[in-house]
Structure 1
Amino acid sequence: MHKDSHSENAAAAAAPERSPQLAGIHVLVTDDHYDSRLALQIMLEQHGARVTCAESVADAISKLEQELPDVLISDIDMPVESGYDLIRRVRASPEARASCLPALALTGRTGAEHREQVLRAGFTMHVPKPVRIEELVAVLAALPRTGEDS
């Protein structure tokens, strides 16, 4: 029995150290690329977040109507409707929490002009791709909460 305890401790020590920095935070990730959504979901969940994924603007709006997350992360360049279309719809929501929901735009476009465009559109922050998970986790952990889940 003592040996099992050591085995468990050794396994825990060998596992990458992850603190639940995002415990209690519900994130909605919107991206048309399955692999990108899955990678973000896995990385955020490893840091304690609860993650819901959407593959399009229509899917994201449907999920937002079901349950409002603490933060929205959206790709900008998506077919049919873009991340800009999504944030315009969210900001136009009559629900106060949705209209001020923290929202991060993911984009491969860098530079001051793209950052300004993202912020003018209604996003809280511009996050360049490729995403550095440590930076994203720090940003999410520092965001003010909009309220309790409904």
Structure 2
Amino acid sequence: MSKSFGNQLPQDDINIKNLNDLQILLVDDDADTLILMTAVLEDYSVQVRTATSASEALEVIRHFELDFLIIDIAMPEEDGYSLICKVRALEDTQKRKIPAIALTALDTEEARQFAFQCGFQNYLTKPFDSGDLVTQITKFLVESTW
């Protein structure tokens, strides 16, 4: 992961979306990962909420307006696949449609396909470059018809 938190996005053909005040929920059982991802996203003026478990994440999703989810797959008790399935089954149509990136150290085609089947829009493997994370969020927001 990049140690630089500067607003340096990789040079792409995409129009960089202004991320100011975007509401993102980060879900990961690893505190260091949450701290690092929060620092990266806050550097782009993103409003970040965090959760360390699927049950905690569902409570945050139910009580707050969110624009995006970033969910670790491998968590104890309940994994990210199960969490995104629960999100996609929520009664609230807006909350059910919150876009999500799966975050995992497992880089297999089967895991990737399963993530998409469960309801994730993208898949990012650990360790990841902070610029890649921001670029994936931006690309989705710019290109989304979700």
* 2: CA distance, partners of 1:39 / 1:17: 13
Structure 2 residues without counterparts, runs of 5 or longer: 9-16
2:63 is the counterpart of 1:66: yes
Which amino acid counterpart does residue 54 of structure 1 have in structure 2?
Answer: A
Structure richer in helix, relative to its length: 1
Structure 1 residue 21: deviation in Å? 4.2
Give the equivalent residue in structure 2 for 1:47.
44
* 1: CA distance, partners of 2:71 / 2:136: 15
C-alpha contact 2:25 2:68 (8 A) present in aligned 1: yes
Give the equivalent residue in structure 2 for 1:3.
none
Give the equivalent residue in structure 1 for 2:75.
78
Which amino acid counterpart does residue 55 of structure 2 have in structure 1?
Answer: A
Q: Larger Cα Rg: Structure 1 or Structure 2?
A: 1
Give the equivalent residue in structure 2 for 1:122.
119
TM-score (ref. length: structure 1): 0.81
Give the equivalent residue in structure 1 for 2:140.
143
Number of residues of Structure 1 aligned to a counterpart in Structure 2 = 131
C-alpha contact 1:110 1:128 (8 A) present in aligned 2: yes
Q: Percent identity?
A: 30
CA RMSD of aligned residues (A): 1.9
C-alpha contact 1:22 1:137 (8 A) present in aligned 2: no
Give the equivalent residue in structure 2 for 1:132.
129
Structure 1 residue 18: deviation in Å? 2.5
